[in-house]
Amino acid sequence: MNRQFLELMTQTPRWVWYFLRDHISRITGNTLGFLTIILLHLASMPTLMSVLLAQSDKLPPADLMVFIWSALTTLFFKSMLERNLLYVATICIGFVAQTLVMGLILFR
């Protein structure tokens, strides 16, 4: 059992390499844009969640939040012009989630 697990773990990097080699060419600009939106939304969430759960009293820096929200607002208007409803929905859901978390922090 341990030997099989060890063999599986030693072969995992090779499997990851083969997967990336075969599938990386299929990633499109839309996929990367969608991942960018999600990463921008998640950039401030660890700090906000730690404040919400009373593990920290330090809020994210204001300039970080201004840059993140500015980038998301810009992407929102870009996606509105392009009529990309997936981007619009993702950005709206992210804005609502961040606003709810900040509201919970403010009014708790």
Q: What is the per-residue pLDDT for 18?
A: 84
pLDDT of 77:
93
Residue among 102, 107, 108, 104 at smallest CA distance from 44: 102
pLDDT on residue 74: 92
Structure confidence at residue 1 (pLDDT): 60
The C-alpha atoms of residue 90 and residue 15 are separated, in whole angstroms, by 31
Our CA angle for 50, 66, 83, nearest 5°, is: 105
pTM of the model: 0.67
Average pLDDT by stretches of 10, the chain with 108 residues: 75 83 77 86 86 85 88 91 90 90 86
Cα 67 from Cα 47, distance rounded (Å): 16
